Structure 1
Amino acid sequence: MNILILSGGPRKTGRSALAANYLASLNDGMELIDLSDLVLPVYSGEEEQNHLPEVKKLKEAARKADGFVMISPEYHGGISGALKNALDYLGSDYFAHKAVALTAVAGGGKGGINTLNQMRTIMRALYANAIPKQLVLDPHCFNREEKTLLEEPARLINELLDELQLYTKAGIQIRKEGLR
Structure 2
Amino acid sequence: MSRLLPVFMYLQRIYRFIQIINTCSTPPIPAQRCFSQFFRTMSAAPNGDLNNTLAERVRGEIAVDPAYQGLSLAIPASEDDVDIRRKYRPFIVEAAEAKEDWIAELELSTALKMVDAQILKRGEDRLRVMVLHGSMRQRSYSRLLAYEASRILFRLGCDVRMYDPAGLPVKDDDHSHPKVQELRELSKWSDGHVWISPEQHGNLTAVFKNQIDWIPLSTGSVRPTQGRTLAIAQVNGGSQSFNTVNSLRILGRWMRMFTIPNQSSIPMAYKQFTEEATGSRLMPSGNRDRLVDCMEEFVKYTIVMRPHFDLFGDRYSEREEKRIKEEKALAELPADM
Above 0.5 in TM-score? yes
Name which of 98, 107, 132 aligns with 2:228: 98
Structure 1 residue matching 2:264: 3-state secondary structure: strand
Q: Distance in 2 between matches of 1:11 and 1:115?
A: 18
Percent identity between matched residues is 25
Name which of 254, 257, 270 aligns with 1:128: 257
Q: Distance in 1 between matches of 2:290 and 2:161?
A: 20
Structure 2 residue matching 1:9: 3-state secondary structure: coil
What TM-score does the superposition give when structure 1 sets the normalisation length?
0.88
Q: Deviations over 1:119-167 (max 9, x none)?
A: 1111111111111100001223322343010123433222111111112
Report the CA distance between 1:80 and its aligned residue. 0.8
Q: Distance in 1 between matches of 2:134 and 2:171?
A: 15
Structure 2 residue matching 1:164: 3-state secondary structure: helix
Q: Say whether 1:40 aligns with 2:168.
A: yes
AA aligned opposite 1:155: D
Bigger mean CA deviation after superposition, 166-175 or 152-161: 152-161
What TM-score does the superposition give when structure 2 sets the normalisation length?
0.49
Structure 1: give runs of 5+ residues left out of the alignment. Answer: none
AA aligned opposite 1:39: G
Q: Say whether 1:84 aligns with 2:215.
A: no
Q: Distance in 1 between matches of 2:148 and 2:283?
A: 11
CA RMSD of aligned residues (A): 1.7
Report the CA distance between 1:110 and its aligned residue. 3.4
Q: Say whether 1:161 aligns with 2:295.
A: yes
AA aligned opposite 1:102: I
Q: Distance in 2 between matches of 1:9 and 1:144?
A: 18
In the alignment, what sits opposite 1:143?
Answer: 274
More strand by share: 1
CA contact (8 A) 2:130 2:190 kept: yes
In the alignment, what sits opposite 1:56?
Answer: 181
Question: Cα gap change, 1:53/1:106 in structure 2, threshold over 3 Å: closer, same or farther?
Answer: same
Structure 2 residue matching 1:133: 3-state secondary structure: coil
Structure 2: give runs of 5+ residues left out of the alignment. Answer: 1-126, 218-222, 315-337
Q: Distance in 2 between matches of 1:13 and 1:66?
A: 29
Question: Cα gap change, 1:107/1:176 in structure 2, threshold over 3 Å: closer, same or farther?
Answer: same
Q: Deviations over 1:66-92 (max 9, x none)?
A: 011100000101111011111011123
CA contact (8 A) 1:66 1:172 kept: yes
AA aligned opposite 2:284: E
Aligned length: 174
AA aligned opposite 2:134: G
Structure 1 residue matching 2:238: 3-state secondary structure: coil
In the alignment, what sits opposite 1:16?
Answer: 142
Q: Distance in 1 between matches of 2:135 and 2:305?
A: 27
CA contact (8 A) 2:226 2:313 kept: no
AA aligned opposite 2:192: G
Structure 1 residue matching 2:163: 3-state secondary structure: strand
